[in-house]
Chain A
Amino acid sequence: MRKPDGKIVLLGDMNVGKTSLLQRYMERRFPDTVSTVGGAFYLKQWRSYNISIWDTAGREQFHGLGSMYCRGAAAVILTYDVNHPQSLVELEDRFLGLTDTANTDCLFAIVGNKVDLLEDGTADSQEKEGLGPGVAGGGSSGSPKVPKQVQPEDAVAFYKKILKYKMLDEKDVPAAEQMCFETSAKTGYNVDLLFETLFDMVVPVILRQRAQGPPQTVDITSYKTPRRTRSGCCA
């Protein structure tokens, strides 16, 4: 098995279209997807680097696995559904904390998916497909087109919150406008742009990590007694 050089993780509430985004990019298609169990990953060759892209399960049941998936990630794609403001709120409430295990110089991308369902959508798909009840969110359930509920400014504001949360200086990280995307996995709108922008940003990170060498030794000075975590699911 090829050893990946860097890791990108897709996070977000269930049904926002993480799996569909990834399949649209990797397989150039928009199939019906079922709710992701646990996680899945793809290996993408980008120039001479192997980048693994992890698709995670959005369901609450698998929430506990998120930290492990994020550990050592070079970039995290936080995905919401532009038609469901709650999905953006969930990113902050539930998913941002999972990224604590990512690299310190981890990049964050905020992605509003399913713009094809918008009334004045930038992506222009008129067809509507009624999907079966067991189908997870790829983009287009049979719902009628609706006015956009999450504005791009909301995503930018969230991005700035992340920087505050991570105690990062805006000057040291890519600008919000660069890292907030609106996509449609169904039409493919902005999907390549999203992934390839990230790949290009991740490559220098990989190079920097290589230059520093792998963290073979554990830094004892920074050792903290393990935090007692409350029970995850048996509350």
Chain B
Amino acid sequence: MMSTKAFTLVSAVEWELLAGDKERVHIECVECCGKNLYVGTGDCVVYHFLLEERALPTGTATFSATKQLHRHLGFRKPVSELRAASALNRLLVLCDNSITLLNMMSLEPVPSGARIKGAVALALNENPVSGDPFCVEVCIISVKRRTIQLFLVYEDRVQIVREVSTPEQPLAVAVDGHFLCLALTTQYIILNYNTGFSQDLFPYCSEEKRPIVKRIGRQEFLLAGPGGLGMFATVAGISQRAPVHWSENVIGAAICFPYVIALDDEFITVHSMLDQQQKQTLPFKEGHILQDFEGRVIVATSKGVYILVPLPLEKQIQDLLASHRVEEALVLAKGARRNIPKEKFQVMYRRILQQAGFIQFAQLQFLEAKELFRSGQLDVRELISLYPFLLPTSSSFTRSHPPLHEYADLNQLTQGDQEKMAKCKRFLMSYLNEVRSTEVANGYKEDIDTALLKLYAEADHDSLLDLLVTENSCLLTDSAAWLEKHKKYFALGLLYHYNNQDAAAVQLWVNIVNGDIHDSTRSDLYEYVVDFLTYSLDQELVWKYADWVLQKSEEVGVQVFTKRPLDEQQNSFNPDSVITCLKKYPKALVKYLEHLVIDRRLQKEEYHTHLALLYLDKVLQERSGANSKGVEATETQVKLQHLLQKSDLYRVHILIDRIRGAGLPMESAILHGKLEEHEEALRILVHELQDFSAAEDYCLWRSEGRDPPYRQRLFHTLLAMYLQPGPAAPELAVAAADLLNRHAANFDAARVLQLLPGGWSVQLLRPFLTGAVRNSVHARRTTQVALGLAKSENLIYKYDKMKLKGSSVQLSDKKLCQMCQNPFCEPVFVRYPNGGLVHTHCAASRHTNPSSPGPGTRT
């Protein structure tokens, strides 16, 4: 076990001072009260010394004793016990089974000669119950068998207050309040002398060893137990602290918080009450007295008196920390809480926690270190400053003094071990990441975030980007230099962007895409830049790089215009400017016009015509390139047809001119259709293309939204075309039959029947005929229903009219218009169904002015 230095042993009274010219002197007992030190000897002399303490810079002290007086008590017996009662200025002396009272200063016996007779041992009650400041409570073991007596001792008299008998002969006693702690022959007990209630503690064997009963504080005692144990017991008979382990032959025990000190033949041992560990061992031979007096621990041999000077707790703690005994240091510091003023303690304790944290840190015990840093409220910069170059150059931080640890930097701490270094860095990363959003970071956000950025950049950590795209306090100059050094150009761009320097950011990224500088963070950086520009509010910047993005890829680059938020597209990115810009980039232009016409549905002839012409150009170009009549229409051709069909805005004539002779029958059919030239359109479809379903679709398409007769006309035109005599007549006849059967409702059956050649079978046209008949019947019936309904409605109105005409209305001067309250001057009036009469002009104005009161409500 490593030892702590908690005490130093210094001499107080030397042998020569006591013995003088005598040959033999034997110290029997000691008492210390303030500066007064009393020594009782075997030859019945009491000595009085004054103690002078001199503090040493090392934290300890030396003592020198000056002899004041000595007095021989006049017996041949040794002085067995001394107790000072400073409030009374009395020294209680037990000698020859009798306690006498001496003046503390003159050592004269009190004139009254008051004494307590028949005492074997005595104890003072340090937690008195009488409440009288002019007396002390003394408890003695009487010479009478199994008897304890309690006395009140005044300046010059004594008074017995109680006699208690014990179950066995008492050998040692200590007292606290009403509680006596007694070592009997075979066991320790607690006896409440007020109630008589006795509580067994535990057995021991008085024949084998001397009992120790020592009050250590309010209602708590320390007892020598079996097996060399120092047992703690409260007056309730409970042990609240784990025992300390002494040697078997302990003679005496004392308390000097937080230590229990024990004396045996050869050593003084020091145990901590906080963790029960033995902390210090001092060799000390032939000691036979160990006692504490108001915090001062005195130990004596028969020939000399010594003082155990405690080292200041802070010094002890620092010693422990210096030998990296973190746990013990913390336990000691915590235990010292109640002995140190609160504010001072908090400052001290925080510092200890921090120091302990660094010790754990240096041992790479990061979990423990983190907890200590957290509870010690460490200024994070202390930790950051261990890592070279992490703190920003602008940081005003200086390490606390005295230093919290012994390390200059991480290199020294890890002694250059790269693996350890990496571990430390990983720890700092996670630690900073944890604290950056807590109050720990208050005031040092720049330092923390900049350090974190540096760590991430160096370690090539993914979180670098997360840090930069979220709220952060990274310092620009420091971070920029660092990112550049580690070639994190993409991240550097993000940093510039965060600091509102988008131009610098984009320039950097463009350089990466162009391959001028290398950073492989993003393989899709080009798309990223396009996206960035799309949402950038800096118009100049967008225009500046528009050419660059379009040169890289027309289709993707055009997104900076097409995906831009709409409100912006109306201002500086209006279509005309964009189209001008896109002149050189046909693919992009098509995309952009598609965006205008299809996505945004802009109803501007120019764009529609332009787009149609671009499509057409492309189709023609593809035609000439492929040079073969493709069976399938190309994608562009589909788009063109779609546009031609759906849009009503493009200039048809321009397109017809362009298309003429180009071999695009479908497109020309559509264009003719747009010009309402249905005969021509259908001719192309039927005769040139022979695409009958297209012809049918054409009829449906062109009649969309028109009235049924218009549609009928179209279908009849088509039917007529099918029935025309010609070389392809048989095929067309089949088409005609199909058309009729499929679209029965779109024909006027009567006219169709006249047109059809007589040779056609009814079976052939059965679906058409059935449909036609059904339609006809249906039309007739619905008309009949409508007629019936109209007739009955008419009847209702007739009835109303008759009713209203049934009575007459008389106008006179007294009848006033209910609206304007004026009389009627003309025979014309308006009568409301409820009978109210108003002027015709009033009735008219009532409808225009709804706020005027209605006559219906008046009556």
9 pairs from A and B in contact (CB 8 Å cutoff): A37-B227, A38-B229, A40-B242, A62-B227, A64-B203, A65-B226, A218-B197, A229-B203, A232-B186
Q: Which of B187, B226, B335 contacts A61 (CB 8 A)?
A: B226
Q: Which of B196, B198, B200, B274 contacts A67 (CB 8 A)?
A: B200
Known A69-B239, A72-B238, A234-B208: A38·B227 in contact at CB below 8 Å:
yes
Interface assignment of A220: CB less than 8 Å from any CB of chain B? yes
- Tell me which residues from 1 to 60 in chain A have a Cβ below 8 Å from any Cβ of chain B: 1, 4, 37-41, 54, 57, 59
Given contacts A64-B187, A64-B202, A220-B195, 8 further A-B contacts (CB under 8 A): A61-B226, A62-B225, A64-B203, A65-B202, A68-B201, A68-B237, A223-B196, A232-B187
Asked if B227 contacts A229 (CB within 8 A), the reply is no
Secondary structure of the A contact surface, majority rule: loop
Interface assignment of B469: CB less than 8 Å from any CB of chain A? no
Asked if B225 contacts A38 (CB within 8 A), the reply is yes
Write out the residue numbers on chain A whose beta carbons fall within 8 Å of the beta carbon of B276.
40
Interface assignment of B236: CB less than 8 Å from any CB of chain A? yes
Residue on B with the closest CB to A215? B236
Write out the residue numbers on chain A whose beta carbons fall within 8 Å of the beta carbon of B238.
68, 71-72
Write out the residue numbers on chain B whose beta carbons fall within 8 Å of the beta carbon of A223.
195-197
Known A38-B227, A62-B227, A218-B192: A233·B205 in contact at CB below 8 Å:
yes
Q: How far is it, in angstroms, between the C-alpha of A231 and the C-alpha of B239 when the chains are bound?
A: 21
Write out the residue numbers on chain A whose beta carbons fall within 8 Å of the beta carbon of B195.
218, 220, 223
Write out the residue numbers on chain A whose beta carbons fall within 8 Å of the beta carbon of B189.
226
Write out the residue numbers on chain A whose beta carbons fall within 8 Å of the beta carbon of B186.
229, 231-232, 234
Interface assignment of B207: CB less than 8 Å from any CB of chain A? yes
Q: How far is it, in angstroms, between the C-alpha of A55 and the C-alpha of B233 when the chains are bound?
A: 16
Shortest Cβ-Cβ A-B pairs, 6 listed: A232-B203, A38-B243, A64-B203, A38-B229, A226-B198, A231-B186
Asked if B203 contacts A228 (CB within 8 A), the reply is no
Interface assignment of B204: CB less than 8 Å from any CB of chain A? yes
Asked if B203 contacts A233 (CB within 8 A), the reply is yes
- Tell me which residues from 160 to 218 in chain A have a Cβ below 8 Å from any Cβ of chain B: 218
Write out the residue numbers on chain B whose beta carbons fall within 8 Å of the beta carbon of A38.
225, 227, 229, 231, 242-243, 245
Q: How far is it, in angstroms, between the C-alpha of A160 and the C-alpha of B395 when the chains are bound?
A: 72
Proximity string of chain B (207-231) to chain A, C-beta cutoff 8 Å, 1 when within and 0 when not: 1100000000000000001110101
Asked if B200 contacts A226 (CB within 8 A), the reply is yes
Write out the residue numbers on chain B whose beta carbons fall within 8 Å of the beta carbon of A39.
239, 242-243
Asked if B205 contacts A37 (CB within 8 A), the reply is no
Q: How far is it, in angstroms, between the C-alpha of A179 and the C-alpha of B853 when the chains are bound?
A: 90
Write out the residue numbers on chain B whose beta carbons fall within 8 Å of the beta carbon of A1.
274, 335
Interface assignment of B586: CB less than 8 Å from any CB of chain A? no
Q: How far is the CB of B233 from the nearest CB of chain A, in Å?
A: 6
- Tell me which residues from 87 to 122 in chain A have a Cβ below 8 Å from any Cβ of chain B: 101
Q: Which of B197, B208, B231, B245 contacts A65 (CB 8 A)?
A: B231
Q: Give the size of the chain A interface in residues (CB under 8 angstroms).
A: 30
Q: How far is the CB of A97 from the nearest CB of chain B, in Å?
A: 13
How many contacts A-B (CB < 8 Å)?
A: 92
Q: How far is the CB of B215 from the nearest CB of chain A, in Å?
A: 17
Write out the residue numbers on chain A whose beta carbons fall within 8 Å of the beta carbon of B242.
38-41, 54
Q: Which of B197, B226, B229, B236 contacts A233 (CB 8 A)?
A: B226
Q: Which of A64, A71, A229 contacts B226 (CB 8 A)?
A: A64
B contacts, CB < 8 Å to A: 167, 186-187, 189, 192, 195-198, 200-205, 207-208, 225-227, 229, 231, 233, 236-240, 242-243, 245, 274, 276, 335
Q: How far is it, in angstroms, between the C-alpha of A101 and the C-alpha of B229 when the chains are bound?
A: 21
Q: How far is it, in angstroms, between the C-alpha of A101 and the C-alpha of B199 when the chains are bound?
A: 10
Q: How far is the CB of B436 from the nearest CB of chain A, in Å?
A: 30
Residue on B with the closest CB to A66? B202
Asked if A233 contacts B335 (CB within 8 A), the reply is no
Asked if B197 contacts A68 (CB within 8 A), the reply is no
With a 10 A CB-CB cut-off, give which of A57, A59, A64, A220 has the most chain B CB atoms: A64
With a 10 A CB-CB cut-off, give which of B189, B198, B238 has the most chain A CB atoms: B238
Residue on B with the closest CB to A223? B197
Q: How far is it, in angstroms, between the C-alpha of A234 and the C-alpha of B239 when the chains are bound?
A: 24
Q: How far is the CB of B64 from the nearest CB of chain A, in Å?
A: 37
Write out the residue numbers on chain A whose beta carbons fall within 8 Å of the beta carbon of B239.
39, 54, 65, 68-69
Q: How far is it, in angstroms, between the C-alpha of A109 and the C-alpha of B237 when the chains are bound?
A: 24
Q: How far is the CB of A182 from the nearest CB of chain B, in Å?
A: 28
Q: How far is the CB of B255 from the nearest CB of chain A, in Å?
A: 15
Q: How far is it, in angstroms, between the C-alpha of A61 and the C-alpha of B248 when the chains are bound?
A: 12
Q: Which of A59, A68, A226, A231 contacts B233 (CB 8 A)?
A: A68
Q: How far is the CB of B169 from the nearest CB of chain A, in Å?
A: 13
Write out the residue numbers on chain A whose beta carbons fall within 8 Å of the beta carbon of B225.
38, 62, 65
Write out the residue numbers on chain B whose beta carbons fall within 8 Å of the beta carbon of A72.
236, 238
Asked if A37 contacts B187 (CB within 8 A), the reply is no
Q: How far is the CB of B209 from the nearest CB of chain A, in Å?
A: 11
Q: How far is it, in angstroms, between the C-alpha of A13 and the C-alpha of B187 when the chains are bound?
A: 23
Q: How far is the CB of B687 from the nearest CB of chain A, in Å?
A: 91
Write out the residue numbers on chain B whose beta carbons fall within 8 Å of the beta carbon of A228.
167
Q: Which of A41, A67, A233 contacts B204 (CB 8 A)?
A: A233
Write out the residue numbers on chain A whose beta carbons fall within 8 Å of the beta carbon of B237.
68, 71, 101
Asked if A67 contacts B226 (CB within 8 A), the reply is no
Q: How far is the CB of A57 from the nearest CB of chain B, in Å?
A: 8
Q: How far is it, in angstroms, between the C-alpha of A101 and the C-alpha of B335 when the chains are bound?
A: 30
Q: How far is the CB of A37 from the nearest CB of chain B, in Å?
A: 5
Write out the residue numbers on chain A whose beta carbons fall within 8 Å of the beta carbon of B198.
226
Q: How far is the CB of A76 from the nearest CB of chain B, in Å?
A: 14
Q: How far is the CB of B198 from the nearest CB of chain A, in Å?
A: 4
Residue on B with the closest CB to A7? B238
Q: How far is the CB of B296 from the nearest CB of chain A, in Å?
A: 24
Write out the residue numbers on chain A whose beta carbons fall within 8 Å of the beta carbon of B200.
67, 226, 229
Q: How far is it, in angstroms, between the C-alpha of A226 and the C-alpha of B276 when the chains are bound?
A: 32
Q: How far is it, in angstroms, between the C-alpha of A38 and the C-alpha of B245 when the chains are bound?
A: 8
Asked if A229 contacts B231 (CB within 8 A), the reply is no
Write out the residue numbers on chain B whose beta carbons fall within 8 Å of the beta carbon of A231.
186, 203, 205
Q: How far is the CB of A213 from the nearest CB of chain B, in Å?
A: 15
Known A68-B238, A231-B186: A62·B203 in contact at CB below 8 Å:
no
Write out the residue numbers on chain B whose beta carbons fall within 8 Å of the beta carbon of A41.
242
Write out the residue numbers on chain B whose beta carbons fall within 8 Å of the beta carbon of A234.
186, 205, 207-208
